[in-house]
Each structure stands twice: as C-alpha cells, then as structure tokens.
Structure 1
Amino acid sequence: MAPLTLVETSSGAHSLLLVAGGTPADDAVAESGHEPNGYFWQGVAERVAPQLVERVSLDSESGMFCARADDRDVLVRLGAKLAPVVNDPARLREVVAAAEADGFEFDD
C-alpha cells in the first residue's frame, strides 16, 4: 500500500494518509496539467473507488490526502485501489484521461 499509510488515530478510528508531492506518479500528474496535492488524490479516489469513498470521511488538504473511518477494512480496501495509481504513472494517466473524458474535474 506504500506510500499510503494506515494509522489508528484513536480507539476504533483510523485514517488512510498519503503525503502529496512524494509519489512515483507525481511527474505524470504534472504532465497531465494537475497539481499532485491532497485534493487531486481525493479526486482520484472518487474515480477509482466511488463505492468505498461513500463509506469514509474525506479530509484532504493541499499537502495530504486523508480518508477517515471507523471501519479499518474499508480503508484497507481503498488503499488497495489507490496504490496502483499512486505507484504507476501509466495507470495514473489512464485514470486522468478517462475522468476528463467523462467531464470529471479534479479539484487541485
């Protein structure tokens, strides 16, 4: 799941985190005309795992993607969906191209 990390923030509460600007796909993000910030990665999450995003609370900011949930498993599954995109520039380009073809606008 790296560079995503899953942490227990308090008893029974968990967060899935990604520090923006330090991923293998950052150059591909910039080449596609976007900024690799937390809001951009939130949009990616909405595209690759909408059914999981509905079950978490998103609290991203410019420097970090953050999804919170009491259900650790949903965050593990979300991380498993995001990691291939975060780690593979070619996959990132595919996701961005498909999203933009559908009229999706990333909030970056």
Structure 2
Amino acid sequence: MTSVRLIETSPGSFSLLLDAGTNQVDELVEQRGHEPNGYFWEGVARFLVTTEAPSLQDRVSYDPEGSMFCAYGTDRPALEELGTLLTDLATTPTRMDALITAAKAADFDFDD
C-alpha cells in the first residue's frame, strides 16, 4: 500500500498528497542521508519532472509540509501521472536508490 492519493479539493481543483514518513523507502532514504519529509518528496517530484516527465513542467504546483508532500492544480491527468511516478518510488527501494544516486551525480539538492 502507498500513501499517495489524489483528491478533488473543489470542482476542477485537485491535490496529490503523499504522507511523509510512512513509505517503504523511508529507511533507505535515511541511510542515504536524507530526511523522508514533505520537502524531500518535493525534491523527488521536481527531479522526476526534470529528468523523466518534462511534459509535466508547469502543469503542477507544489506545497509541501514537514509531514506531507502536496502537488496541486487543475490538470488532473498531470497529477495522476506524477502520482504514478511517486507511487513507484515510494514502494520500490531499488528505484529510489537509483534516483538518489542520479540526483547526487547531477548535484541536485532535495532541500530536505
């Protein structure tokens, strides 16, 4: 089970939510020197959009907190696509490890 979910906050407006600290990859994230909080997950989302899903650029906005990652907007398909990518990372330690390695090689700062 993943902590990623998409909700309609008002007609035509959506939020993609991920509960930080409740995912299968949290221990790995900590071992790699990061805090698996909402700000870390925003960095993950930004890195994913830059490297794997550039079509999502400028289609979602971010508003993380310490205990939760939030992406929001009116483009439901974009949020669904981002949700699929985040779910894969939140549930697949080898995928998360590869992403952290790639981000480090690119001098990307997760800002966690």
Instruction: Give the TM-score band, short-chain normalised.
Output: over 0.9
Q: Which runs of 5+ in 2 are unaligned?
A: none
Extract structure 1 runs of 4+ deviating beyond 2 A: none
1:13-32 correspondence to structure 2 within 5 Å: 13-32=13-32
Give yes or no for contact 2:25–2:92 (8 Å, CA) kept in 1: yes
The alignment's C-alpha RMSD in Å is 1.3
Which of the residues 74, 77, 102 maps onto 1:70?
74
Aligned residues: 108
Give yes or no for contact 2:38–2:66 (8 Å, CA) kept in 1: yes
Give yes or no for contact 2:63–2:70 (8 Å, CA) kept in 1: yes
Q: Provide the C-alpha distance between the structure 2 equivalents of 1:53 and 1:60, rounded to a whole number of angstroms.
A: 17
Amino acid at match of 1:67: A
Q: Structure 1 residues 78, 69: CA separation in 2 closer, same or farther (over 3 Å shift)?
A: same
Give yes or no for contact 2:2–2:23 (8 Å, CA) kept in 1: no
Amino acid at match of 1:4: V
Helix, strand or coil for the counterpart of 1:5?
strand
Give the TM-score taking structure 2 as reference length.
0.91
Give the TM-score taking structure 1 as reference length.
0.94
Amino acid at match of 1:21: G
